[in-house]
Structure 1
Amino acid sequence: MLAYLLLLLIGIVSATFGSIVGLGGGIIIVPALIYIGPHLLDRDITTAVAVGTSLTVLIVTALASTLTYLKRGTVDFRSGWLYFATSGPAAVAGASLTGLFPQATFQLAFGCFMLFMAGLMVARDYLKPVELKWRIRRTFTDASGHTWEYGYSVIPALFVGLGVGLISGLFGIGGGSLFVPVMVLLFAYPPHVATATSMFVIFLSAILGSATHVAAGEIDWPSVAALAPGAWLGGWLGARIASRMSGRGLLWLLRATLFVLSLRLIADGIGLW
């Protein structure tokens, strides 16, 4: 019972943070399963199973977030389907590679990636969008009446989807932590549109990525059952918070969490070599 309640809480917290910044929450779920699994579940959770379980739960998180954002009209479906054209197949490729890495290599690589993302999430507050004239131009008017102009081109967008999808499937994190900064800084998306569209793409990609892990038997279904209700609530809650406020304090808490977890994963990865 205690294990179920703790996993439920992890699902809520990870999905809430993930929905606010558009990354999905797997960045917390994967380390949690690796470290907590042996103590609460009386069994070890391999890295491949942790990633597969995270991607499966990610479907719930991203769906709840997307539906909430959809009601507010912040999902850009046109560009979202374009990103998915490459992120979907890349997520399948990444998911198929997860089980090939030894645990030490995976934890070291995952830790370094989390450290990079923590730095990127800090840097994006101080960087300004690149002023480029992309071929496809879009506009968005927010609730306050301010009109944003942004744009993209097909080939760069496809490459962005490819890279994010590969990382998403490999680490089970959704990839929004890369999607959102690139969309904002490179294509000048409004932050709310970038976050909402990212969650839509994550939802589609997570379906394909998790299906790969299901086929390989790399899903811990009891953990999915415990995490999923919390992920649904957190996905809804995070989307509402992101739509109503900047969530700056929560973002800094998430950055600090990523930093601490990344150092733990790097240290453990080095120790297992």
Structure 2
Amino acid sequence: MTLTYIISGFAVGTLVGLTGVGGGSLMTPLLTLLFGVSPSVAVGTDLAFASITKSAGTLTHRLRGTVEWHVVRLLCYGALPAALVTTLGLKLFGTLDKEIGQIIRYSIAGSVFLTVIAILYRSKLVAWINAHPERQLQGRKLAIATVTAGAVLGVLVTISSIGAGAIGATILVLLYPKMPAAHVAGTDIAYAVPLTAIAAFGHWYLGSIDWVLLGSLLIGSLPGITLGSLAAKAVPEKLLRGILATTLTLVACKLVM
């Protein structure tokens, strides 16, 4: 079983490095559906896994110059306080019931499908933005929208471990349509590091992290995300968009199932 965890960690890590997406969206369903891990432990362990794995990916993307740090800061301004407040809420009121959790999963799946559409039609979106620059958010409005989106992400990620990559990619593609795919991946990974770290700390406080499982996943994921991050800038833009769209489609289907 340990070898299977290591292989799973490598596969997910590589996808995260290439696209910035796939950590919680793939790993949490994998742990619960394939390996039979309880949902609360799967969420907590995956958050710790994501924070460490994405730290390695952020370092690689930073060295390659594919992180938009001003966008990272704006997302964190909203996400980090929201994650702290949500953790306190889970401690005080307990976990969410099954029905609300299912609604959250379907909402995320819908957002992921929107991301796929945005990626596949990015060239047309950019052309439309260039033809209608007054419709694109700029300056203060764009900053406020990014901070607000970060706050929503903070809540979703702390509750379900899902959304840091998938919804983050949606935000970056829709709010910053001219951002190159490699920069989408790098920026998406970078802002998720402090967010998943805070959320993981909260779940450690709640007692829902399996440290042995986490170690096995990390053995595979750290080389995987480094390899994927190194390849992200070298992979042609069109191919990278195709990989990202395919990954997100699989994520959305898994969430619905």
> TM-score band, normalised by the shorter chain?
0.7 to 0.9
2:12 is aligned to: 14
Q: How many residues align?
A: 240
Distance 1:69 1:26, change over 3 A: same
Q: Which residue of 2 aligns with 1:135?
A: 139
* Contact 1:86 1:159 (8 Å CA) reproduced: yes
Deviates more, 1:93-102 or 1:219-228: 93-102
User: Could you tell me which of 57, 61, 76 is aligned with 2:68?
Assistant: 76
For the residues of structure 2 that align with 1:198 and 1:9, how far apart are their CA atoms? 23
Which contiguous aligned blocks of 4+ residues in structure 1 show a shift greater than 3 angstroms?
Answer: 92-99, 102-105, 248-253
CA distance in 2, matches of 1:113, 1:238: 28
Q: Which residue is 2:247 aligned to?
A: 254
- Which range moves more in the overlay, 196-205 or 13-22? 13-22
Which protein has greater RCO, CA pairs closer than 8 Å, 6+ apart?
Answer: 2
- Cα distance in 2, alignment partners of residues 117 and 133 from structure 1: 20
Rounded Cα–Cα distance in structure 1 between residues aligned with 2:88 and 2:254: 25
Normalising by structure 2, report the TM-score. 0.82
Identity %: 24
Quick check: which one's helix share is greater? 2
Report the 3-state secondary structure (helix = DSSP H, G, I; strand = E; otherwise coil) of the residue aligned with 1:247: helix
Q: What TM-score comes out, normalization by structure 1 length?
A: 0.78
Q: Which runs of 5+ in 2 are unaligned?
A: none
Trace 1:183-198 onto structure 2 (pairs within 5 A): 183-188=172-177, 189-198=179-188
Paired residue secondary structure (1:227): helix
Structure holding more strand per residue:
1
1:268 maps to which residue? none
| Deviation readout 1:73-130 (Å, 9 max, x if unpaired) | 1212233122111111222344556651234653x33541453244123211214144
Question: Within 1, Cα distance between the matches of 2:49 and 2:30?
Answer: 13
Matched residue SS, 2:35: helix
Is 2:120 the partner of 1:120? Answer: no
Q: 1:102 aligns to what? A: 97
* Matched AA of 1:82: L
Does residue 1:37 correspond to 2:35, yes or no?
Answer: yes
Please, what is the CA RMSD of the aligned residues?
A: 2.4
Secondary structure at the residue paired with 2:204?
A: helix
**Maintained 8 Å contact 1:75/1:200:** yes
